């Protein structure tokens, strides 16, 4: 049973690899632990289980990391951990208090001694004309459709974007009997060659990449490099996609346009960390292109700059499941040590090994994120009539005009144009706007800064605001 204002020794926000690992390791030491996630399931972005009645079962057996992840879910369910799915963190306050919404129906406050942010990442976008048309999907959305509902967006699709996840999504689509018309990769083929030495030293990632590529090659899917979506067209939904070639500076080559007839387009440009909650908690953030943008600053123990708040996983740098798992373990050891449940001397060699592993993951992170940076010319080339903020329908022209008038900060742009003020609170457009400000104002991201965050930093229902939470058992939801 959990009551409003309940206090826990450890509260973990996010049940992806990092949160699950930390929860599992902290359990069994007489600590009260709450593991919270806004999703209806445990496992974060990667561990989505296809319902038994739909499609093929997830290939857990052939995928060691997923197998590990699903086994963590089973273990966590068995342990003395309070599990709260469908619970969104809306605000973080100074007196170790969190404001949450439960099941879109109720709000509750929770207190913690130690807090671990394991809030993961979300997708990065590069807007183009028509990206708001029905029929245009993100790679993450494609995965959710396949994994949670056993559905494909259409029997035929085109994919475009950059980064490794594009290939993971292509693999899932083909495996589920979709016909892929082609992959339009923004980055050059040479990137893959540059990447090879790094991947060879990351055996599991090498095997994973080889699995995706071999499926794509065997399915004879054409992969074109230095290609950018210029426009998605259609009356009420997608009918055709215009793709063009870009030069080595990322600028569109005129006359290179080609039109593809398709009912569906899937786009993905990698991920950005979910930093809003740590930002609100006052944790120091840093901009690092090599780590995937704005990330939470942590020390070797995954401690943030705020006492008793730790961070692990994608929010400290986009690097994939192995890195998240490793950081979840380090954070757990640090938490146990804080409660004097682990002996510092005994832990020293274990932590040394984990930290060495972490450095190995970070070297991959740096190489990977640098190679898939979107070039300034590509960002500058976004046409004026392209929607940038989908919620408020703010186009590129309005953003440029506001910047010319002197609104050269995220908050200035927000006040003058309403961008990032809609229901998504800038979750989609904020990273695009940071990139735009960087290239249009020619300023360092640190100088530009971030949108300010206030509670609730995620949408909350009026109903929930009217109904404070009363005791009930959320375990096993």
* Residues of the shown chain interacting with ligand FAD in the complex, contacts defined by CB under 6 A: 13-19, 36-39, 44-46, 88-89, 118-123, 140, 143, 168, 271, 274, 277, 313-314, 320-321, 324, 458
In whole angstroms, the minimum distance from the beta carbon of 412 to ligand FAD comes to 26
- Cβ(331)–Cβ(350) below 8 Å: no
In whole angstroms, the minimum distance from the beta carbon of 251 to ligand FAD comes to 29
In whole angstroms, the minimum distance from the beta carbon of 176 to ligand FAD comes to 13
- Helices and strands per DSSP (H, E), number in the chain: 15, 21
**Which of residues 123 and 395 has its CB atom nearest to ligand FAD in the complex?**
123
Q: What token pair was written down for 284?
A: 């120091």
Residue 255 three-state SS: coil
In whole angstroms, the minimum distance from the beta carbon of 401 to ligand FAD comes to 32
- For residue 49, with 0-12 CB atoms within 10 Å meaning exposed, 13-18 middle and 19 or more buried, which class applies? middle
- For residue 18, with 0-12 CB atoms within 10 Å meaning exposed, 13-18 middle and 19 or more buried, which class applies? buried
**Which of residues 331 and 387 has its CB atom nearest to ligand FAD in the complex?**
331
Tokens 């930002």 belong to: 279
**Which of residues 92 and 186 has its CB atom nearest to ligand FAD in the complex?**
92
**Rounded distance, CA 284 to CA 302, Å?**
13
In whole angstroms, the minimum distance from the beta carbon of 319 to ligand FAD comes to 8
In whole angstroms, the minimum distance from the beta carbon of 447 to ligand FAD comes to 27
In whole angstroms, the minimum distance from the beta carbon of 47 to ligand FAD comes to 7
**Rounded distance, CA 242 to CA 230, Å?**
5
What is the number of other CB atoms lying within 10 angstroms of the CB of residue 95? Answer: 5
**Rounded distance, CA 170 to CA 182, Å?**
9
- Cβ(292)–Cβ(362) below 8 Å: no
**Which of residues 10 and 403 has its CB atom nearest to ligand FAD in the complex?**
10
Q: What token pair was written down for 364?
A: 């991959």
Backbone angles phi, psi at 330, to 5 degrees: -60, -45
Q: What is the 8-class DSSP label of residue 334?
A: H
**Which of residues 264 and 274 has its CB atom nearest to ligand FAD in the complex?**
274
**Which of residues 129 and 366 has its CB atom nearest to ligand FAD in the complex?**
366
**Which of residues 276 and 395 has its CB atom nearest to ligand FAD in the complex?**
276
């Amino acid at each position: 049973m959990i009551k409003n204002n309940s206090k826990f020794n450890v509260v973990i926000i996010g049940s992806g690899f990092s949160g699950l690992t930390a929860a599992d390791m902290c359990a069994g030491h007489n600590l009260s632990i709450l593991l919270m996630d806004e999703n209806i399931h445990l496992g974060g972005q990667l561990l989505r289980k296809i319902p038994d009645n739909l499609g093929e079962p997830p290939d857990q057996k052939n995928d060691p990391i997923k197998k590990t992840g699903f086994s963590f879910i089973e273990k966590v369910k068995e342990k003395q951990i309070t599990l709260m799915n469908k619970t969104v963190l809306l605000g973080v306050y100074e007196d170790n208090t969190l404001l949450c919404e439960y099941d879109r129906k109720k709000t509750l406050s929770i207190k913690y001694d130690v807090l671990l942010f394991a809030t993961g990442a979300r997708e990065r976008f590069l807007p183009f004309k028509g990206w708001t048309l029905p029929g245009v999907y993100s790679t993450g959305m494609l995965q959710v459709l396949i994994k949670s509902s056993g559905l494909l967006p259409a029997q035929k699709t085109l994919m475009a974007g950059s980064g490794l996840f594009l290939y993971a999504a292509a693999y899932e689509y083909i495996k589920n009997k979709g016909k892929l018309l082609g992959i339009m990769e923004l980055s050059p083929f040479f990137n893959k060659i540059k990447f090879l030495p790094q991947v060879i030293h990351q055996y599991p990632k090498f095997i994973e990449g080889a699995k995706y590529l071999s499926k794509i090659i065997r399915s004879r899917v054409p992969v074109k490099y230095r290609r950018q979506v210029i426009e998605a067209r259609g009356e009420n939904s997608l009918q055709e996609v215009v793709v063009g070639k870009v030069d080595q500076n990322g600028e569109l080559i005129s006359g290179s346009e080609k039109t593809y007839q398709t009912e569906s387009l899937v786009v993905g440009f990698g991920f950005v960390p979910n930093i809003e909650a740590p930002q609100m908690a006052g944790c120091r953030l840093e901009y690092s292109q090599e780590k995937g943008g704005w990330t939470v600053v942590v020390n070797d123990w995954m401690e943030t700059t705020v006492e008793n708040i730790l961070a692990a996983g994608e929010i400290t740098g986009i690097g994939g499941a192995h890195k998240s798992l490793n950081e979840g373990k380090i954070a757990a050891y640090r938490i146990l040590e804080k409660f004097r449940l682990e002996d510092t001397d005994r832990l020293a060699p274990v932590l040394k090994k984990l930290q060495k592993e972490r450095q190995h993951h970070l070297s991959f992170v740096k190489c990977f994120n640098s190679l898939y940076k979107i070039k300034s010319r590509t960002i500058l080339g976004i046409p004026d009539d392209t929607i940038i903020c989908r919620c408020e329908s703010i186009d590129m022209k309005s953003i440029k005009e506001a910047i010319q008038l002197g609104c050269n900060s995220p908050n200035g742009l927000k006040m003058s144009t309403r961008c990032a003020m809609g229901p998504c609170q800038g979750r989609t457009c904020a990273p695009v706007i940071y990139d735009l400000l960087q290239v249009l104002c020619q300023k360092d991201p640190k100088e530009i800064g971030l949108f300010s965050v206030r509670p609730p930093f995620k949408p909350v229902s009026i109903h929930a605001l009217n109904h404070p939470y009363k005791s009930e058992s959320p375990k096993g939801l």
